[in-house]
Structure 1
Amino acid sequence: MKRRNFVSSIAATSALGMVPGMMMGQKENTPLYRDFNLKYAPHLGMFQNHAGKDPIDQLNFMADQGFTAFEDNGMKGRTLDLQKKMASTMENKGISMGVFVAHKIYWQKPNLANGDLNLRDEFLSQIKESVEVAKRVNAKWMTVVPGHVDLRQNMGYQTAHVVESLKRASDILEPHGLVMVLEPLNFRNHPGLFLSESPQAFEICKAVDSPSCKILFDIYHQQIQEGNLIPNIEACWDEIAYFQIGDNPGRNEPTSGEINYKNVFKFIHSKDFKGILGMEHGNSIKGKEGEKRVIEAYMESDNFL
């Protein structure tokens, strides 16, 4: 069925209380949509009411719904056996692995910003560990958050300390073709962090000057922190390697809040973006109904051609 005709059928089926691909007489796990324009990446738990709690079953369900990517912040902490099973499933299903968190994040006190060499060494050791995880699960990107500000130091000194740590980390990652993506986080959810805005992340990436140090542009965080989403994405474009998604308020699926995700996705697609957009958000409605709504929301927001 043609994309336009398929999407236009949503209204008719919704009026009957049905969702395309989940109508009477069809299996509940039948794909709703298999032709997304961008690589949206769900996470574990997002569809567990349909797929169950087993990670492999959840990955299979995601693939059946047409999702071609997956992200897992907690991948590094999973057992070796599970990492291998998940990697094998993703490979078999044609799913690209997105980000996982590469290191211990210091939410309440400074680590990279204060220049403490012991804490820098700890960070670099964890980056080395993450190289092996990335290889095991076929990941290219890993999330880095530089930690809390150091209120006893001028921001210029702090920036120099962070840049130096990231240069050292880039030296570790570059030979493997891996990329750490720096995530600016908003002041409301994460007060006091060193990295909060996209221009700041852009400045740091330019200073590090490595293909292994780029920006994770989290649309939810930046809507709260700075707004002006599309112009800021465009201004940072050369340093953005990864996106994450969440509507505001609520940090749930697109269409649940104020962000015009159809226009944002259209812009990202117009830039010929081939990377991953992580679905780092909750479901606005509980249970199976909420999981169906997440899939519908991406169908609607991705319908921009």
Structure 2
Amino acid sequence: MKRRSFIKKSTAAASLIGMGLSGVNAMNVLNPNVNTFKLNFAPHIGMFKHHVGNNPIDQLNFMADQGFTAFEDNNMKNRPVEIQEKMAKTMADRNITMGVFVAHKIYWRAPNLASGNIDKRREFLNEIRQSVEVAKRVNAKWITVVPGHLDLRQHMDYQTEHVIETLKQASAILEPHQITMVLEPLNFRDHPGLFLTGSPQAFQICKAVNSPSCKILFDIYHQQIQEGNLIPNIDACWSEIAYFQIGDNPGRKEPTTGEINYKNVFKHIHSKGYNGILGMEHGNSVDGKEGEKKVINAYLESSNF
């Protein structure tokens, strides 16, 4: 019996060696007792659909089973109230923290906040009020704000003042509920012509608004394209950063697929004591279940510091 047991163990060990490290990891990614992430990474709906289908509740449970402690959903505001409530209950039951959702209509090709137009300002502020109700329903503490397109007929300084004034008024709506709008600078290549593009610009605006309800969403993918110098820029505007998002460049896929040394970036963010959310706002580099396992492996590898 001892010999038989030895042979079985030896055969299993040989199989693992033959699989290599990636094979071992591929088994581990679906084991909730193995996956431990050092930061609060937040997947989104659809990222693991090949494992559990399209039902958002099943997807949330799968995320929790893999060791993820946060979740973000840009489209949450547009989901039926009944679905929002079910998702909120599942997150509460599974100890998942809700991340950002998009708070308002984004003007990709026409100026709104930068224009100073009073009707556009009112529209934005009404959407912020609506987003407060959604945030309370799903226990969200952060909402994404993009100030929209440049107003090419106005000097940049005037546009900046218009944006600051609007955000001050929005902050007054959000502060009593302890909800933070996070301003997301977007890169010139994917989103040409937008008002807000760089982290120094976002830093300046947040300092001028001077509210705990107006902070920066530092999207590492966008800022790698827009300005690079990631770690020094993170340090320079650290006091105003309330949220991170992730995507490698080029391709906007999971870490390890592009040029960004995410292990070092994550290590730096972790060393600063950050306990907020890092949204996984990217696609999967490989389709199907294997691609979904690859995403989880990428975060396990990038958390190994």
* TM bin (shorter chain): over 0.9
Give the alignment of 1:43-58 within 5 angstroms: 43-58=44-59
* Secondary structure, aligned partner of 2:143: strand
* Secondary structure, aligned partner of 1:211: coil
Query: Hey, what does 2:257 align to over in structure 1?
Result: 256
Give the alignment of 1:199-218 within 5 angstroms: 199-218=200-219
Q: Point out where structure 1 has 5 or more consecutive residues left out of the alignment.
A: 1-10
CA change 1:161–1:17 in 2 (3 A) is closer
Query: Hey, what does 2:162 align to over in structure 1?
Result: 161
Match of 1:15 among 20, 23, 27: 20
* Secondary structure, aligned partner of 2:27: coil
CA change 1:56–1:133 in 2 (3 A) is same
Contact (CA 8 Å) 2:186, 2:196: kept in 1 or not?
A: yes
Q: Give, as a single letter, the amino acid of the residue that structure 2 aligns with 1:267.
A: H
Instruction: Measure the CA separation in 2 of the matches of 1:35 and 1:289.
Output: 20
Query: Hey, what does 1:269 align to over in structure 2?
Result: 270
Higher share of residues assigned helix: 2
Contact (CA 8 Å) 1:20, 1:32: kept in 2 or not?
A: no
Q: Give, as a single letter, the amino acid of the residue that structure 2 aligns with 1:65.
A: Q
* Secondary structure, aligned partner of 1:163: helix
Give the alignment of 1:1-305 within 5 angstroms: 12=17, 14-15=19-20, 18-20=23-25, 22=27, 29-31=30-32, 33-304=34-305
Please, what TM-score do these two structures have when normalized by structure 1?
A: 0.93
* Secondary structure, aligned partner of 2:173: helix
* Secondary structure, aligned partner of 2:242: strand
CA apart distance, 1:14: 4.8
Contact (CA 8 Å) 1:223, 1:229: kept in 2 or not?
A: yes
TM superposition outliers: structure 1 runs of 4+ over 6 Å: none
Q: Aligned-residue CA RMSD in angstroms?
A: 1.5
Contact (CA 8 Å) 1:29, 1:50: kept in 2 or not?
A: no
Instruction: Measure the CA separation in 2 of the matches of 1:14 and 1:141.
Output: 42
Q: Give, as a single letter, the amino acid of the residue that structure 2 aligns with 1:296.
A: N
CA apart distance, 1:30: 3.0
CA change 1:125–1:12 in 2 (3 A) is farther
Instruction: Measure the CA separation in 1 of the matches of 2:149 and 2:17.
Output: 50
* Secondary structure, aligned partner of 1:36: coil
Rg: which structure is higher?
2
Contact (CA 8 Å) 1:253, 1:281: kept in 2 or not?
A: yes
Q: Give the paired residue count.
A: 290
CA apart distance, 1:39: 0.1
Contact (CA 8 Å) 1:29, 1:61: kept in 2 or not?
A: no
Please, what TM-score do these two structures have when normalized by structure 2?
A: 0.93
Instruction: Measure the CA separation in 1 of the matches of 2:19 and 2:161.
Output: 55
* Percent sequence identity over aligned pairs: 72
CA apart distance, 1:35: 1.9
Q: Give, as a single letter, the amino acid of the residue that structure 2 aligns with 1:279.
A: M
Query: Which deviations, in whole Å up to 9, do the C-alpha atoms of 1:23-51 show, x marking residues without a partner?
Result: 7xxxx943374321100000000000011
